[in-house]
Structure 1
Amino acid sequence: MHKKRRPEDGGFNIWRSYSDMMAGVLLLFVLIMCVTLFQAQKSYNDSLKERDEKIALQEKYTEELLEKQNALDEQAGTLKSQDEKIESQDKELSSLAERLTNQQKTLEEQQKTLEEQQKKLEEQQKKLSSQKEKLEEQQSSLDEKTELLESQQQQIDKIIGVKAEVVEALQKEFAKKNLNVDIDSQTGALTLNANVMFDYDQAELTDSGKRTLSMVLPTYCKVLLNDSYKKYLGEIIIDGYTDTDGDYSYNLELSQRRSLAVAQYLLNIEGDFLKDTQVQELQDCLTVNGHSMADPVLDADGNVDKDASRRVEVKFRLKDEEMIQELNKIMQGDQKTESADSPDSADSESTGKSSADKKKE
């Protein structure tokens, strides 16, 4: 059997459906309100943002206007300052105009002076042209003298070279024979100790002195009389020296006797080492001198070394050594002439006499 439905059950279902529908409508309304509020809020935010942007833009424009206003104020101040400067410059220009007028007058006066100086310069130019011709003639003369000096210098170099060769040949020859001698590397002078050659205060050769001379003199003379050098040889000189003790006259005689004893010994033995033609050549160029106590030898402390001062020196002189001295005198004279004929002295002639001319006067 079926039970009968109660009326209350049907009414209850309708109300429930109605409440569900109203709940849905309410929910829809709430959603619409939310969307509306969201859009309203968004519109409000956009409006605020736009308002803020307009305010910021307005502030920016305001700042720019203020900056421009400040710039205009500065420019106005600058223009005012420039106006003041222009006024000051106008005054200065007026003053300058007066100065220029005065300077113009001065320039006109200077122009007249320059014209006068120009005339003087033209006259000096003519003088300089004349002096130039003289200088060219002097230059030609100097060129000739220069050529002559170069030729003379070559002769001097040749003579100096020959002497150096002779000294070197002497040193080599003595070294070859193992002879330890005191020979000057510059002059070729051979120094013989008188203490070995002679007894004290004597002028006669000792046996040891003769032995020394027999080894030394032949070597020395053979080199000098060699065919390569004898044409240049002027003298073979034997010089005697004493110490500083005693009387000058006595020492002079003693030094002469000692140098003469060495020369005599050389002449006695010359035939033993020289050819007949060389013997005569030796005799023709041999010179003997005595110097007494002159030119003493000093030790390291500057005191007279008496043992070393008692000596005999054998040396040589080339024929052209005197010519070297003459050439040097000529060259010095030519140098003085060149300095006197130089352009500087010529310039000094254009304004007055040179200092050298004044000294000659």
Structure 2
Amino acid sequence: MKALYLTGKAQVEMRDIPVPECPDDGLLIKIDSVGLCGSDVRTYSVGSAKINYPVILGHENAGYVEKVGKNVTGWKVGDKVVANPAIPCGKCYYCVNKMPGLCDNIQVAGTSFPGGFAQYMVFPGDMLSRGQIIKVPDDADLEPMILAELLASVVKAQDDLKVGMGETVVIVGSGPIGCLHAQIARLHGATKIIMAELNKERLDKCHEFGGTHFIVSSQEDLVQRVMEITDGRGADVCIVACPSAKPHQQGVELLRKEGRLCLFGGLPKDNPWTTMDGNLIHYKRLRIFGAYSYSAADFAKGYELLAAGRIDTRIITHTLPLEKMPEGVRMIQQGEAIKVVLKPWMEE
């Protein structure tokens, strides 16, 4: 089979390797679609302490059952599937206390074991036993289902934030995460959804995905514009969906009293520090939330939203052959694409 290996920073190599053996308690999957995630873009561009080269990335995976382990029941060859890629141990403090997304020993496809940047991959038995593989209807399109993983994180964050009816939500960052946050905020009943982005070309691409107001923050004062839109009161919620500290600072300024700030985007490892006005946090009684990971239940919610047609999946703007992964990275980084899907069986 063909597999795309990341062999170093910004270095990939397409290799012909044997198809992996199907484990007795798992499934062998023929990959139809694999999402090129923001974390893949970062790992490709700057590396990651979580991987050892060479590695097969890819954790947003959808495909067909190619083989069924001899000890597995309830699945058959040809079934369409999408999988939650993060496998909690089920035994650590966080798993036992209903926080599996923060598991101390979590295993993740594309990091802990080979991912979907290949024509075939193994879904291990732990995925099956913990209900992390979802069977997709035969008549459903597999490609959009790769968004379930991103949606799981968004659903979890907004459940924690308790975004509600009639609220004003500011979303900083108009990549796929920002676009999904806008759609989920709309489904929760938010009436003003303000999307902010440094890159005008990228912001222009997201006008159809739930926003009501759009701010090019490299050209306009974000805090001032939010105050104008909210008649000087400020927003109920601010979600920072980009890897920048400046919106953290702006977030505490543009929120109303008792507003909620969500730090969804991680910061660069070599400069992870942020500064916020402590007096504003104190006197406005602001609440600040970190957002990271999700549970199997959140993943299932994301899938159900997709299956019910409640999500505009046109945020997938480009589909490329697997070997064009570096081109997909470039398109995302330059704002030409919102979400890129790779196809291991597509010819150049």
Q: Does the pair score TM above 0.5?
A: no
In our comparison, the structure showing a higher alpha carbon Rg is: 1
Decide which structure has greater strand share: 2
Decide which structure has greater helix share: 1
**TM-score normalised by the chain length of structure 1:** 0.18
